[in-house]
Chain A
């Protein structure tokens, strides 16, 4: 077999830093496998579906629904002032899931299946945190 050839950096997808730079700017941009179309969050080097190594970037619409959630009442030290808060896993309509904070809803009113929308990064969060609101 021939020696491995260099792969162009342009096809290597994005870094988590770039992903969250977009989140900070209010956009949801994810990696898409050039081979099979699978979306990847967090960004991957090799596609888990087809093992492809070429990636493009696609923006997501931002709509999704809650697949699971929890109300954190005993937080890590640095989040003490924010508790209780809702952490949710939301499946976006494009098929990929994201974990983030759900705000703008009473903590007891969250339900599985609730339609939510990505609204950028959580206010004052550094590093940035994916934030959703009910839609």
Chain B
């Protein structure tokens, strides 16, 4: 079910870097964990393979999620593996009475009952290396996993669900009460034995009895009836049995059910739910949808951006200027728009202004129109964009104005630094004096330690984006800087220096979004091919790997899947370079270059205008400026101009597919959208 090769939707058949992402190829061999590096590479490849993504999507369908702590399952029937499979004989099973060594049963992959690809087998094996079954956090394997997390599969449970082979391997003596992790419908039971429930997992109980393995199986309505199930011939209740007695009961049960025994010598168990805690509605859920935009096609039909820098006008006035430009560009009258979505972050601190929405529509002369403010830190207007997209795609609206505005230069640098830090954790991070440069300095230091990225490579990003900024008349900085200037600039948060940081900026940006029927009548619609948002742990220390843009990877995978494209199809990218290291990490997370090589790509000019994949030809946040609430919309406006072929001196010739990427806060929110000249 999970691995079915059924209809896969529009998937891009080409992997990220053909021939380079596989094991050992293109991976720098490191003394300190070449294997882990390879696995990470492979997992990225898998994650970026749309077919794999679809499989993951299907996996998400299986998340039914009764809490493991909330339910107990009573084994009411089980059959016994009389002759343990080979994997149980090596290295075990241990002699009777001997403690079970941790790790003795973690090779469940070896007993897959159907042919699997090598890759899949590895994934299974790794799934079990994680020792979900009663592991400890200080278990060596788990520690290794946390240091070198792989792919987008978050929890051990997900991995277990990913396998249709089974999740529980244990000894009959302890298989009396297990915890259920999913019991969706009448089709299958996904189960594992929770902490301590599995003999051997913690070495607590001797393996008195033959091995029992539970498998997901169809359960008929009759079997689901507890009373009838326990009364059914041949079943044997295991509840309350002592190990030895249980062994006996099990053996008899197995004899009475020869079909199971003969079929594959594998134990099966019927389980009966006994709810002892919260239960959950059995509905199908996806972490992120891959259908957004496919309901109705949506296009960007107009754009407007103010100059970025210092402004004396209010956010509402700035937004009205950008919004009117966008409406005129689209040929849409303000009275034709059905709603306004506006991103704004520090209105309270910068202008003492909440409730920006109606202020904006008032300035536009349309106070009756619905207007809503969005806040996801620096990704605010990108989030506003995505929600406007939903509204049009769903058919609820045909034309919307979406964008953002920010004013921060009303505050001193110290005050701005403090206010921006509000987007980090107020309990763990702000009291420690962590600033936003500090957040990205921690990421930079981790990236330097893991990949050998240098301060010079980061400086190349700043130099490049300033070079681009010269070509953008709306940019806050329109002057080139040298490598030496960057490296000699004042330290802000080691290893980040002043010129590694984007400026504080005022400004606004807006775009007009329209449904297909409207867009077809406009001048040069640019089509939204995909738009995804993903998250990561709020606290920096709680993230799995500071050197990796995990949320970016997640959002990118979903957006690529929606568009049916891969990173190699993208012609021009506007990404979130609030600090130089952020661009390096993002180029890796978006699949534009190999993990760990973002700095090298900047150094070699691969991401410059005219390079392999031009990044931030607008000047990026670094030179164009970063009015935080407006940044996401400004990126969309830039890509729209690029795909229209109207970007002037900074035009990427022949660009047909563009990507925008916006970070929110300490990388805990990420949005990625894809645009094309043609609808998909």
Chain B nearest CB from A93 CB (Å) reads: 8
A37 within 8 A of B: yes
B194 at the interface (CB under 8 A from A): yes
Q: Report which of B138, B412, B425, B442 forms a contact with A68, defined as CB distance below 8 A.
A: B442
Query: Which partner residue on chain B sits nearest A1 by CB separation?
Result: B279
Q: Who on chain A is nearest to B422 by CB?
A: A76
Question: In the complex the two chains form, is A36's CB within 8 Å of B279's CB?
Answer: no
Task: Enumerate chain B interface residues (CB-CB to A < 8 A).
Answer: 65, 67-70, 132, 134-138, 142-143, 146, 154-157, 179, 181, 194-195, 275-280, 282, 412-415, 417-418, 421, 425, 427-435, 437-438, 441-443, 445-446, 449, 490-496, 537, 539-542, 546
- A89 interface hit (Cβ, 8 Å): yes
Listed by A's residue number, 15 A-B pairs whose Cβ atoms lie within 8 Å are A1-B280, A2-B279, A7-B278, A34-B69, A35-B195, A51-B157, A53-B277, A70-B442, A71-B493, A71-B494, A73-B491, A73-B494, A76-B421, A89-B442, A101-B432
Cα–Cα, bound, A39→B276 (Å): 24
- Chain A binding surface, main DSSP class: loop
Q: A49-B157, A67-B546, A76-B433 are in contact. List 4 more A-B contacts (CB 8 A).
A: A4-B279, A33-B195, A82-B433, A89-B442
Q: Can you name the residue of chain A whose Cβ is closest to the Cβ of B494? A: A71
In this complex, what residue of A is CB-closest to B493? Answer: A70
A5 touches B (CB below 8 Å): yes
B189 to chain A, nearest CB (A): 14
Closest to A76 in B: B418
CA distance A73 to B143 in the complex (A): 33
For chain A, give the interface size range.
35 or more
Q: Give the CA-CA distance A3 to B279 in the complex, in Å.
A: 7
Instruction: Name the residue of chain B whose CB is nearest to the CB of A125.
Output: B431
Q: Which residues of A contact B (CB under 8 A)?
A: 1-5, 7, 16, 20, 32-39, 41-42, 46, 48-54, 67-80, 82, 85, 87, 89, 93-101, 107, 112-113, 122, 125, 127-130
Residues A37 and B433 in contact, CB atoms below 8 Å apart: no
A39's closest neighbor in chain B, by CB?
B137
Given contacts A4-B277, A48-B154, A70-B494, contact A42 B428 (CB under 8 A): yes
The list of the 9 closest CB pairs from A to B, nearest first, reads: A70-B441, A4-B278, A1-B279, A76-B418, A99-B541, A71-B494, A77-B414, A2-B275, A79-B433
Cβ contact of A72, chosen from B433, B445, B537, B546, cutoff 8 A: B433
B277, B414, B494 interface centre (most CB from chain A within 10 Å): B494
B430 cross-chain contacts in A, Cβ below 8 A:
76
* Of the residues B154, B432, B539, B542, contact of A129 by C-beta under 8 Å: B432
Determine which of B135, B157, B413, B421 lies in contact with A37 in the assembled complex, contact meaning CB atoms within 8 Å.
B135
Residues in A neighbouring B418, C-beta threshold 8 A = 76-78
Asked whether, in the complex, the Cβ of B143 is within 8 Å of the Cβ of A95, the reply is yes
> Measured between C-beta atoms, what is the minimum distance from A97 to chain B in Å?
4
Decide: A95 and B194 in contact? CB cutoff 8 A: no
Is there an interface contact between B417 and A77, defined as CB atoms closer than 8 Å? Answer: yes
Q: State whether A20 touches B427 (Cβ < 8 A).
A: yes
Contact A72 B194 (CB under 8 A): no
A112 touches B449 (CB 8 A): yes
In the bound complex, residues from chain B placing their C-beta under 8 Å from that of A99 are 428-429, 432, 434, 539-541
B residues less than 8 Å from A48 (CB atoms): 154-155, 537
CB neighbours (8 Å) of A46 from chain B are: 67
